[in-house]
């Protein structure tokens, strides 16, 4: 198992929570908290993502992207369709 860098995990956790809070405050964009969050949350997230990026072959990148992003996307969509159909019948 690969050794994780603790400060990066903590920083990513803080930025993920900040992204959720920032998007939750979308209707309240004139607030001081939302301005504060928008000054740092995405730049730090992109910097950390770039720092952790490891170059892979195109086929491996496509395979892992499909598994990590598309599979949960379609699974969640399927659940939403089933819930919608059950709720409307």
pLDDT tens for 16-75 read 888 888 777 766 666 677 777 778 877 888 888 788 777 888 898 888 888 888 989 999
Q: pLDDT higher for 28 or 78?
A: 78
Q: Is 60 exceeded by the pLDDT of residue 2?
A: yes
Which residues make Cβ contacts (< 8 Å) with residue 38, sequence separation at least 6?
Answer: 22
> Residue 12, exposed/middle/buried by CB under 10 A (0-12, 13-18, 19+)?
middle
């Amino acid at each position: 198992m690969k050794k994780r860098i603790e400060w990066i995990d903590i920083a990513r956790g803080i930025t993920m929570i900040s992204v959720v809070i920032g998007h939750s405050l979308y209707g309240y964009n004139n607030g001081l908290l939302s301005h504060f969050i928008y000054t740092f949350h995405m730049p730090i997230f992109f910097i950390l993502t770039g720092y952790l990026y490891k170059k892979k072959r195109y086929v491996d990148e496509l395979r892992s992207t499909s598994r990590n992003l598309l599979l949960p996307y379609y699974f969640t969509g399927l659940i939403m369709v089933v819930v919608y159909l059950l709720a409307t019948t």
